[in-house]
Amino acid sequence: MMSVDKWLEKKLGLKGLKYKHNLSKNQLFHEAIANDRGRVKLDGPDTDKKAFATKLGDKGPLVFLTDPTCTGRPVNDTFAVAYPEVEGEIWWKDNLQKFDPEKYEGLLKRVVQHVNERGDTLYVQDVFAGSNPEYAVPYRFVGQYATHAMFAHNMFPKNVQGLKDANDKQWMMLNVQSFRCDPKRDGTLSDRAAIIDFKNKICLVVGRADYCGLVKKTIFTVMNFLLPKQGYLSMHCSGNIGDSNDAAIMFGLSGTGKTTLSADPHRKLISDDETGWTASGVSNLEDGCYAKLIDLDKKAEPVIAAALSMEGTIIENVPPLPNKPYEQTDPQELDLTDGSRTENTRFSYPLSSNPNVADGAQGGHPETIVLLTADAFGVLPPVSILNDKDVMYHFVQGFTAKLAGTEVGLTAPEATFSSCFGAPFMSLRPSVYAKLLAEKMKSNDARCILLNTGWSGGPAGEADRMKIGVTRALLNAGLEGKLHNGNALVRDGVFGLHMPKEVSGVDSKILHPRSTWKDQGAYFKAAENLRGMFQENFKKNDFGSYGIKAVM
C-alpha cells in the first residue's frame, strides 16, 4: 500500500509536509488543544485557541469553537464542479451550485501551493462512509485541525471488511482553514467554499468553514450521488429494529422527532440520521451521532446527557460559563440553553455511547416506513395511512413547519418543504430517490404512515403540541401493523389523507384534527391555506414531470 505522503503527493501535489496519520482520539484531543488556532470572535485574531479541555481533562469531552460566521453549514458557499461527465446528472440548486472546472483546478493548485509554502503539519484520518461493504467508500480526511480529524474518528466506521476495489473507490477531503479565497480570482462567492469534485473524488473545504458538520454532510452528499448508481437508496432518515427483526425507518426534518422516536428502549438503533437501503436491508452510513444540544432535556435524552461526560466526544459552540473557564467546568454544568454563539450548538459522540445498538448497525428490509412532520398549523391528522401514490407525493414534498419565535422575524408558523426530507444533501433529482423508494417498498411489501408530531386543536401558540405519549402510541400501532390490518379508515376532505377511526389507547377525538378545533371556520381556512402551499410547492418544482401524482 502506498504511504500517505506518496499518495498525497501523487493525488494533489502536496510535498515536504509532516503528517500525523490515524492518531487515537486521545492523541487528537491533546493535539487539538495544543495546535488548533483560529478566529473565535468576529473582531478576534486568527491565532486564538479553538479547542479546550473541561474539568475532566482527557477523560472527558473536547470543546471546540468554530469561526462565528460558520456555526452551521455554509449553504451559500457549497458547490460541485460542473465537469461535463456529471453536469447533466446533478440536481443544481441554491445549496449546491455549479463551479467552473477551470476555476476549480486553478483554486486547488493555489490551495496546495499555500499549504506547501507554509510547511504545515496535516492530520490524516482514514475512515469509511458506510458500514456495509456493498456500498462503503474509503474516506480520507486531510486537514489542518486535529478537532476535525477527531470528529471523523467519532462519526465514521473504521474497519469495514470485505470491501472490493477499495483503492478505486477512495474519496478524500482536503480541509484548509488558513486559505482565503478571492472571489474574482477563484470563482467563489466569498472567502470560503466547500466544493465537491465528483470526477476526481475530492471534497475541498477552504476558508472560514470550520463547522464540524461539513466533514459529515459533504461526504453524505457524495454518497447520495453514488448509491443510486448501484441501485441502492441513500436516505436522510433514522432506523431501528424490534425483537422480531421488524426493521423501520423514519424520515423527518429537524424538530420532527426523527432522533427521539428512533431511540426506543424496546427497539435497537440502526441509525439516527443517514441510512442506506440495499438488497440485504438497511444499514448506517455512519458510526456516530451529531446531536443538537440547545435546550437539551437531559431526562428525556439520557444517552446524550451521559455522553456529555464521556472520553473522546466533542462539544461544539457551547459557550463557557460566566467567569469560569472550560478547564474548571464539569461538562454537566455547561448551560445548554445558552445560544449566544449559535442556536445550532452540537455534540459528536460515537454510536457505541448508545447502549442499545443493533449488531453492525444493520437490519433487514423495513416493514414500516414513517414520514415525520411537525405541523405547526395544527391541521394535519396525527397519523395517516399512505398508499403508493401518497408516499411518493409526501416524500418529494418533505413538509414540516417552522415555529413562531424560532427565527428572528418569524411571528406565525411557516411551511418548510425539503424534498426527500433532506434536499440540500440530495445531489441527484428527487425523482431518482422517489423511484427507488417506491421499488423497494413494493418488492419488500413495506407499509407507510405519515406521523404528525405537531399541534392539535389550533396553530402553535394557540394550542398544545401532540403529547409524546400519544405520538408513541400511534407510532407503535404503525410499527405493529395495526393501522393497516383491516382497520376502519376515514378520508379527510381537505388533504385526501386516510385516517384511522380508532387506535387503542388514544382518544379517538384527536385522530381527526377538525374535531379538535373549536372554531370550524378557522380550521377550514387554515387547512385550505396549507393545502394551497402543498399545491404551490408541487407546481413550482414540477414534480408532475417526474411521474409523481398530485394527490391534493
* Cα 474 to Cα 503: distance, rounded to the nearest angstrom: 7
Residue among 258, 268, 394, 440 flagged as catalytic = 258
* Cα 42 to Cα 19: distance, rounded to the nearest angstrom: 30
Task: Report CA dihedral (11, 14, 15, 20) to the nearest 10 degrees.
Answer: -100
Residue among 39, 148, 208, 346 flagged as catalytic = 346
Residue among 199, 254, 309, 341 flagged as catalytic = 254
498, 490 Cβ separation under 8 angstroms: yes
254 included as an active-site residue = yes
DSSP per-residue letters across 303-325: HHHHHTTSTT-EEESPPPBTTB-
* Cα 417 to Cα 394: distance, rounded to the nearest angstrom: 10
259 included as an active-site residue = yes
* Cα 235 to Cα 270: distance, rounded to the nearest angstrom: 13
Residue among 236, 267, 365, 498 flagged as catalytic = 236
Copy the grid coordinates of residue 221. 452528499
Residue among 188, 259, 275, 400 flagged as catalytic = 259
* Cα 392 to Cα 491: distance, rounded to the nearest angstrom: 18
* Cα 119 to Cα 96: distance, rounded to the nearest angstrom: 32
Q: Is the dihedral of CA 292, 294, 295, 298 positive or negative?
A: positive
* Cα 467 to Cα 511: distance, rounded to the nearest angstrom: 13
Task: Output the furthest CA–CA distance in the chain (Å, rounded).
Answer: 73
20 included as an active-site residue = no
Q: What is the 3-state secondary structure (H, E, C) of 373-401?
A: ECCCCCCCCCEEECCHHHHHHHHHHCEEE
188 included as an active-site residue = no
DSSP per-residue letters across 220-260: HHHHHHHGGGGT-EEESEEEEE-TT--EEEEE--TTSSHHH
Residue among 11, 39, 73, 429 flagged as catalytic = 73
Residue among 208, 217, 267, 402 flagged as catalytic = 217
What residues act catalytically?
73, 217, 236, 254, 258-259, 273, 346
